[in-house]
Amino acid sequence: MLDHLWNGWRAAYVQNWSETAGTVAEPLEGSIFTSILNSGLSDEETFVVRRGLRCFAILNAFPYAPGHLLVLPFREVANLEDLTVDESSELWAMVTEATRVLKVSYQPQAFNVGLNLGPVSGGSISQHLHVHVVPRWAGDTNFMTVVANTRTLPESLVDSAEKVRKNWQNLPRLL
């Protein structure tokens, strides 16, 4: 018997892909994050949930868990030592804000917060430094990931972005 896993949010992705199928994509100038910032698309369309003066937070398009955020500088740099003092201060303050807003939004039991620096570190976009902020719960990595190589997510990116933006606006700013 064939098992079905409902992922209704994928319909928008599939529809968008089929509308552009057969066309040649233009090469990216810079990282995907730089392309998103330069796209002219709204924050709602790109899942940017917070903007500061030097850094921003965006939902991970391929999340490990609902609310998985990426915090990164606007300027495309690969290494921590390439950040200015102001960029570094804002980056880490925004990471702290991100954990606070995710606590309010999702009530996680824990967090994974980290970076993959360099092409062989396991990160897929090494040219644009970004900090992962991932809410975690007991049992959130279960047999589906281990046996079926599949993640199940109970919330769409649109719903996650709306929730995170609303709660972030209500938190006192650290910056």
Active site residue 128: no
How is the chain split into domains, by residue range?
A: 47-170
Task: List the structure tokens of 11.
Answer: 């319909």
From start to end of 28-125, where are the E strands?
Answer: 48-51, 55-59, 69-73, 110-114
**C-alpha distances in angstroms, 103 versus 53, 68, 154, 155?**
24, 12, 17, 16
Domain 47-170, architecture per CATH: 2-Layer Sandwich (3.30)
- The mean per-residue pLDDT over the stretch 73-94 comes to 97
**pLDDT tens, position by position, 18-73:** 444 444 444 457 899 999 999 999 999 999 999 999 999 999 998 888 999 999 99
- Count of CB atoms within 10 A of residue 102's CB? 24
Q: Which of 4, 68, 128, 130 is catalytic?
A: 130
